[in-house]
Structure 1
Amino acid sequence: VESSESIKKEIKREVGKAIASLCNATPSFSDPEAIVILSIDSDFNYEISVQLNPLFFAGRYFKMGRRISHVPWYTKTGVKKYPISIQEVAESIFKKTFEAESVVIHAAGREDVDARMIGSGRPLVVEVKSPRRRGLSLDKLRYIVELELALLNAPVRLEITSTASRQMVTSIKERSKHKRKMYRIVVYSAEKVDQAELNKLEGFFVNREVRQKTPTRILRRKKERERLRKVHAVKTLQISEKVFEALVYCDGGLYVKELVHCDGGRTWPCFSGILGKKVIPAELDVIYVEE
Structure 2
Amino acid sequence: MEDPVEQAEKLLADVPLCDRCLGRLFAMLGRGLSNAERGRALKLAVLMRLHARIREGDKEALERFRAIAPNIGQPASRLYEELFGSKPEVRQCYLCDGLLDAFIEEAARKAYEALKEYNVRKFLIGVRVAPKYINGEEELKLRYQLKYGESLKSELKREIGKLIQARYGLEPEFSRPEGVATIKFPEGLIEVSIRRLGVSATYRRWDRWSPIRPYEEHPLVQGLVKAFEGSSASIYGLVRDEMGVRVLGLGVPLVVEVSKPKARGALDRGDRVQVIGSELEVNDLDVEPPGQESLSRRVRLYRCVMMSESPLSEAALSLASSSLTGKQVSQRVGPHEATASVRGVSCRLVADHVAECLVAADERLYVRELVTGEGTSPSLAEALGSRLDCLEFDLLGVISQR
TM range (shorter): 0.7 to 0.9
Q: Is the 8 A contact 2:200 2:254 kept in 1?
A: yes
Which structure has more helix as a fraction of its residues? 2
In the TM superposition, what whole-angstrom CA distance separates every residue of 1:136-162 from its partner, at most 9, and x where no partner exists? 4626xx45x3xx52xx4x211222122
Which structure has more strand as a fraction of its residues? 1
1:244 paired with 2:371, answer no
1:186 paired with 2:316, answer no
Q: Who is 1:22 aligned against?
A: 167
Q: Is the 8 A contact 2:347 2:357 kept in 1?
A: yes
1:121 paired with 2:241, answer no
- Corresponding residue to 2:333 among 207, 210, 215: 215
The answer for unaligned runs of 5 or more in structure 1 is: 73-84
Q: Is the 8 A contact 1:95 1:103 kept in 2?
A: yes
Q: Is the 8 A contact 2:204 2:278 kept in 1?
A: yes
The 3 A distance-change label for structure 1 pair 133 and 232 is closer
The 3 A distance-change label for structure 1 pair 68 and 27 is same
Q: Who is 1:103 aligned against?
A: 233
In the TM superposition, what whole-angstrom CA distance separates every residue of 1:2-35 from its partner, at most 9, and x where no partner exists? 3122222222112212322331223222221111
The answer for unaligned runs of 5 or more in structure 2 is: 1-145
Q: CA deviation at 1:204?
A: 1.5
CA distance in 1, matches of 2:174, 2:257: 21
1:233 paired with 2:344, answer yes
CA distance in 1, matches of 2:192, 2:386: 64
Q: Which protein has greater RCO, CA pairs closer than 8 Å, 6+ apart?
A: 1
Q: CA deviation at 1:271?
A: 1.9
- Alignment length (residue pairs): 255
CA distance in 1, matches of 2:179, 2:299: 38
CA distance in 1, matches of 2:222, 2:372: 38
The one-letter code matched in structure 2 to 1:244 is A
Bigger radius of gyration: 2
The 3 A distance-change label for structure 1 pair 49 and 86 is closer
Identity %: 27
Structure 1-normalised TM-score? 0.78
Q: Who is 2:176 aligned against?
A: 31
- Corresponding residue to 2:369 among 258, 264, 269: 258
Q: Who is 2:205 aligned against?
A: 63
Q: Who is 1:159 aligned against?
A: 281
Runs of 4+ in 1 over 4 A off after TM superposition: none
Q: Who is 1:53 aligned against?
A: 195
Q: Is the 8 A contact 2:199 2:286 kept in 1?
A: yes
Structure 2-normalised TM-score? 0.58
Alignment RMSD (CA, Å): 2.4
Q: CA deviation at 1:38?
A: 1.1
CA distance in 2, matches of 1:17, 1:165: 28
Q: Counterparts of 1:85-100 in structure 2 under 5 Å?
A: 88-100=218-230
